[in-house]
Amino acid sequence: MDINNPQRMVFLKKIHLFHGLEDDQIGEIASALEVETFPAGKDILKGEGKGDRFYLIYDGDVGVTRKNKQTKQNEISTLVTGDHFAEEALLGDNSRPAVVIAREDTTTLSLTR
């Protein structure tokens, strides 16, 4: 899926995280984002290693799971278009304890640290 910069800016302006930014600031962020697509059932994050990428769901939905004490995966949330995840990756060297799986074909905009 090709998402041009004006489309990205319109999308970002709807995200609460970016409210209060000027158009030129949103434009800089929009141009730095990478488009990634994931088919249904594909792992986006595997819950291991250090995070280095922040994701915004442009289209689709994902399930977020975490291991319980019996090492079984339990779904803890569903994220949909307009939601974001892995923001801690931009803030430091935090590991990713959760697994994020595309529940349907999903397009994300991502930003690396």
**81: three-class secondary structure by DSSP:** coil
The answer to whether residue 96 scores a pLDDT higher than 70 is no
What does the block give as tokens for 61?
């939905």
d(Cα 16, Cα 97) in Å, to the nearest integer? 25
Query: Taking the model in full, what pTM does it have?
Result: 0.87
Residue closest to 75 by CA, chosen among 59, 86, 64? 64
The answer to whether 79 and 11 are in contact (CB under 8 A) is: no
| Residue 52 banded pLDDT, cuts 50, 70, 90 | confident
Mean pLDDT of the chain: 89
